[in-house]
Amino acid sequence: MRLTAAHQSLAFSRRMLLVGGAQVALGGLLIGRLAYLSVSQNEHYRLLAEDNRVQLIIVPPRRGWIVDRNNRPIAINRSDFRIDLIPEQVEDPKRTLQVLAKLLDLGADEVDRIIREMKAARGYKPVQVAENVPYERYAAVTVRLPELPGVQPMRGFSRFYPAGPAVGHLVGYVGAASAAEYEKEKNPLLITPGFKIGKEGLEETLEQRLRGTPGGQRVELTARGKLVRELEPKPDRSGATVKLAIDAQLQEFAARRLGEESGSCVILDCLTGDILAMVSMPAYDPNSFSDGIGRTEWRMLSEDPRKPLLNKVLNSLYPPGSTIKPMGAMALQLHGVDPTERVFCPGGYRLGNRFFRCLGRHGSVDMRRAIAKSCNTYFYSMGHRIGYDRIAPMARTLGLGQKFDLPVVSQSFGTVPDSAWKARRFKDSPRLIERPDWTASDTLNASIGQGFLIVNPLQLAVMAGRIASGRDIQPRLLGAHREPAPLIGLDPKHLETVRGGMWEVVNGDGTAGASRLPLDGIEMCGKTGTAQVRRIAGGQRGQSGDWRYRDHGLFVFFAPFANPRYAGAVVIEHGLGGARAAAPVAKDVLTFLYDRDKAMASLSALEQQWGGTLAERTARRGQAIEAAAAAAARSA
């Protein structure tokens, strides 16, 4: 075919149509895309534009209070002064820092940190210069503000625990978030100057409730971080107030009463399970931790043989000793032992060719007397009769070996041994004395609270509480409760026998006769215990010699006998014996619940011997630490 100019013109027109069509299609695509972006995606992009435009200078929310069951403060906020710096606004960083270092007495380390943080800061984010600034220094900075652009004096808040060490292990402390904690949560609030998070105890476990929602100054910023204008500030919401089951005054009294001993004290409401006091002493002062603890103080705390960093209520395990004899008596009755049946105690019990000692020669004893006099022979022989596999379930029913549902960072729950446990534990043990099979001597040791059985003081208190009320109480830390717990299903007659034995311990001629309550009509019942720290070697029974090897003294108790309301446990480490070290503490703490003046009088007499009240001794210790830190700084 020959192509002519006419063909060509026709072809041009056709192709023009195609090109024109393509142009219309592309134009339609452009308008469609524009409509898609600005109409259907409008919401999304408007948010992004707003995100670009508006930034929040975070103001940390006020941390929620922690109060006791009567709304008395346990952890509150105290206003303090702080100085921040907004790098963007600083005109002469070098001179500004020089002036601030002089006015606030900053060390070289601090100045280095500020320079580092100023370099890393982006946009409008403030950098902390100093917190907890004394008013005179704060005022000195404030008057020089006109020549220090970018310096921001602020009112801040620091955590304050009025009872100091008395609540240290209970509530823990707060501190600035670490890099790891920020990585985990990625919340910009965590790296805001002045913001603290819970680091231990309730402060840590209740963090989300106590934290609150940050507010702040909303500002319009350019892409380069220049401030354009300030917008409506966003109000912050402070954290929720958390009410504890704790009675703050009782808690503080118990802490003071423990004095210089290394030990713990738990008081429960034996009807509801509310924990009224949970004290571990000695304790660190959470106030000094919350301000940031010095290296010297940390070293002194971690090297102290009385372990002030350890919460002995939850994380120390002890052989309960004779304190579990009431529990044993419950198991014996459940398995058919008649409480009136008598056992003759010649000062011990013979099993094969071994002789298991009793603490005395008690002659013929029934169950009540056996509890009152803490007769080992009775529990050896009866325990041997029914076997420990029948006693262990009762131990568990009464709370031993149990892990409680509590807002705590950790709890060690110990061991209630039985034959199945031992088979598991020593399955591959080649040693002759730690065989996987349960032996009669294992039963004998466990029957008097030694051997494999280990528990924590809270479990002992729960055990006393469940025996006292016959109710299945669960220890509770949060909120004050009125409803009694349901009955645990133990025979009231059995309970009566055991309570009677525990009454005789204190009010009869029992082991703790010296600790009768100095009150009319209110009687304490209890059971003493002594836990060996090391095996009996030679003549030494852990009753003398080096402090570290002395026996632990334990005491479980409840009161009043007629209508039990309170139950608890006291453990005094290396206190030699329950009657001698632990029961007097229980006596004073219970007295405090009924007659505060009387209890305070006996406490002040004791505190005079120890060299001042807890607050005075804490202050003195703080001074000693400061002096040691200063000495360390000088020699470095």
Partner 1 sequence: MIFSAIIPQPLARLPWRLIFLVAGIAGIGIITLYSAAGGSSQPWALKQGLTILFFMTLAVGMSWIREETIRALVFPAYGAIVLMLIAVDAMGFVGKGAQRWLDLGFIRLQPSEFMKPAIVLVLARFYELLPAGSIRQWRAIWPAALMIGVPWFLILVQPDLGTATMVLLSGLTVMFLAGLPMWLFLGGAGLVAAALPIVYAMMHEYQRKRVLIFLDPESDPLGAGYHITQSKIAIGSGGIWGKGYLQGSQSHLDYLPEGHTDFVFATMVEEWGLVGGVLLILAFGLVVRWGMKVAANCRTRFGQLSAAGLTVTIFFYVTINLMMVMGLAPVVGVPLPLVSWGGSAVMTIMICLGILMALERQQRTRNTLT
Tell me if 39 contacts partner 1 by CB under 8 A.
Answer: yes
Report the residue number, 89 or 613, with the smaller CB distance to partner 1: 89
Encoded amino acid at 192, one letter: T
Q: Which of 122, 155, 186, 224 binds partner 1 (CB under 8 A)?
A: 224
Residues in the chain: 636
Tell me if 57 contacts partner 1 by CB under 8 A.
Answer: no
Report the residue number, 46 or 516, with the smaller CB distance to partner 1: 46
Written as one string, the DSSP assignment of 311-380 is -TTTS--B--GGGGHHHHHHHHHHTT--TT--EEESSEEEETTEEEE-SS--EEE-HHHHHHHT-HHHHH
Tokens coding 599 = 């209890």
Candidates 28-36, 336-344, 435-443, 500-508: pick the segment binding partner 1 (CB under 8 A).
28-36
Least separation in angstroms between residue 56's CB and partner 1 is 16
Give residue 206's Cα distance to chain centre. 10
Candidates 16-24, 89-97, 157-165, 438-446: pick the segment binding partner 1 (CB under 8 A).
16-24
Q: Which of 78, 120, 147, 228 binds partner 1 (CB under 8 A)?
A: 228
Report the residue number, 153 or 225, with the smaller CB distance to partner 1: 225
Give residue 353's Cα distance to chain centre. 48
Report the residue number, 37 or 420, with the smaller CB distance to partner 1: 37
CA distance 321 to 325: 8
Tell me if 72 contacts partner 1 by CB under 8 A.
Answer: no
Report the residue number, 23 or 544, with the smaller CB distance to partner 1: 23
Least separation in angstroms between residue 219's CB and partner 1 is 11
Tell me if 3 contacts partner 1 by CB under 8 A.
Answer: yes
Which residues make Cβ contacts (< 8 Å) with residue 76, sequence separation at least 6? 65, 66, 159, 160, 161, 162
Q: Which of residues 463-492 bind partner 1 (CB under 8 A)?
A: none
Least separation in angstroms between residue 19's CB and partner 1 is 6
CA distance 148 to 374: 75
Candidates 96-104, 223-231, 535-543, 626-634: pick the segment binding partner 1 (CB under 8 A).
223-231
CA distance 429 to 409: 33
Report the residue number, 26 or 420, with the smaller CB distance to partner 1: 26
Least separation in angstroms between residue 44's CB and partner 1 is 7
Report the residue number, 70 or 222, with the smaller CB distance to partner 1: 222
Where does residue 65 fall: left (phi above 0), alpha (psi -120 to 50 degrees), or beta otherwise? Answer: beta
In 10 A of CB 481, how many CB atoms? 15
Report the residue number, 122 or 424, with the smaller CB distance to partner 1: 122
Report the residue number, 11 or 145, with the smaller CB distance to partner 1: 11
Phi then psi dihedrals of residue 538, to 5 deg? 60, -140
Tell me if 120 contacts partner 1 by CB under 8 A.
Answer: no
Q: Which of residues 614-633 bind partner 1 (CB under 8 A)?
A: none
Tell me if 25 contacts partner 1 by CB under 8 A.
Answer: no
Tell me if 122 contacts partner 1 by CB under 8 A.
Answer: no
Do 477 and 244 form a contact (C-beta atoms < 8 A)? yes
Least separation in angstroms between residue 178's CB and partner 1 is 27
Q: Angle at CA 236, nearest 5°, toward 231 and 242?
A: 180
Report the residue number, 232 or 520, with the smaller CB distance to partner 1: 232
Tell me if 35 contacts partner 1 by CB under 8 A.
Answer: yes
Least separation in angstroms between residue 4's CB and partner 1 is 6
Tell me if 30 contacts partner 1 by CB under 8 A.
Answer: yes
Show the DSSP H helices in 448-561 as ranges. 457-469, 492-507
Report the residue number, 228 or 630, with the smaller CB distance to partner 1: 228
Angle between helices 248-258 and 596-610 (to 10 degrees): 30
Least separation in angstroms between residue 177's CB and partner 1 is 25
Count residues binding partner 1 (CB under 8 A).
42
Tell me if 21 contacts partner 1 by CB under 8 A.
Answer: no
Q: Which of 5, 108, 432, 433 binds partner 1 (CB under 8 A)?
A: 5
Written as one string, the DSSP assignment of 403-468 is PP--S-S-----B---HHHHHHHTTT---STT-SS--HHHHHHHHTT-TT-BB-HHHHHHHHHHHH
CA distance 469 to 484: 9
Q: Does the bond joining 282 to the residue before it have cis omega, within 30 degrees of 0?
A: yes
- Quick note: the x/- pattern for partner 1 over 170-209, rule CB under 8 A, is ----------------------------------------
Candidates 24-32, 208-216, 274-282, 597-605: pick the segment binding partner 1 (CB under 8 A).
24-32
Tell me if 29 contacts partner 1 by CB under 8 A.
Answer: yes
Phi then psi dihedrals of residue 50, to 5 deg? -70, -40
Least separation in angstroms between residue 39's CB and partner 1 is 6
Tell me if 49 contacts partner 1 by CB under 8 A.
Answer: yes
Q: Angle at CA 456, nearest 5°, toward 300 and 241?
A: 75
Tokens coding 66 = 């922690």
Least separation in angstroms between residue 620's CB and partner 1 is 55
Candidates 218-226, 235-243, 484-492, 588-596: pick the segment binding partner 1 (CB under 8 A).
218-226
Q: Which of 98, 208, 222, 544 binds partner 1 (CB under 8 A)?
A: 222
Least separation in angstroms between residue 11's CB and partner 1 is 4
- Give the 3-state secondary structure of residue 183: helix
Which residues make Cβ contacts (< 8 Å) with residue 391, sequence separation at least 6? 327, 328, 331, 332, 383, 443, 446, 447
CA distance 111 to 117: 10
Tell me if 230 contacts partner 1 by CB under 8 A.
Answer: no
Candidates 39-47, 286-294, 428-436, 540-548: pick the segment binding partner 1 (CB under 8 A).
39-47
Least separation in angstroms between residue 176's CB and partner 1 is 28
The bridge status of strand 363-365 relative to strand 525-531 is unpaired
Candidates 105-113, 217-225, 233-241, 314-322: pick the segment binding partner 1 (CB under 8 A).
217-225
Tell me if 26 contacts partner 1 by CB under 8 A.
Answer: yes
Residue 85's H or E segment, with its range, is: strand 73-85
CA distance 488 to 471: 5
Tell me if 229 contacts partner 1 by CB under 8 A.
Answer: no
Binding-site ranges for partner 1 (CB under 8 A): 2-5, 7-8, 11-13, 15-16, 18-20, 23, 26-27, 29-31, 33-35, 37-39, 41-42, 44-46, 48-50, 52-53, 220-224, 228
